[in-house]
């Protein structure tokens, strides 16, 4: 099994992907959540997960993370996002 975390945040609150990642890791250390406008979507996939049209498990995890985010009212506009392997 491979574990990932898809992070997405508003560009009103985050200047870059590095800023978003830093907020996520700092919140992990301090236990603070919802410090700035962001969401975290955990994703777990089996190593054998294959979907036609995707070249890697990371691509699949990214699309699942985006799907989760978009179903939670996020958009690609005015956001920064990143997939991290947990």
pLDDT value, residue 81: 97
Residue 6 contacts residue 41 (beta carbons within 8 Å): yes
pLDDT value, residue 76: 94
Q: For residue 33, how far is the Cα from the chain centroid?
A: 15
Number of CB atoms found within 10 A of residue 54's CB: 14
Domain enclosing residue 70, as ranges: 2-85
Instruction: Render pLDDT for 5-50 as a digit per residue (tens, 0 to 9).
Output: 999 999 999 999 999 999 999 887 677 765 689 999 999 999 999 9
Q: Total structural domains in the chain?
A: 1
């Amino acid at each position: 099994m491979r574990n990932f975390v898809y992070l997405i945040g508003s560009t009103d609150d985050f200047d870059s992907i590095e800023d978003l990642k830093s907020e996520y890791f700092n919140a992990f250390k301090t236990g603070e959540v919802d410090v700035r406008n962001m969401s975290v979507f955990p994703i777990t996939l089996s190593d054998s997960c294959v979907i036609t049209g995707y070249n890697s498990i990371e691509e699949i995890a990214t699309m699942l993370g985006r799907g989760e985010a978009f179903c939670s009212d996020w958009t690609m506009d005015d956001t920064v996002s990143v997939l991290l392997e947990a």
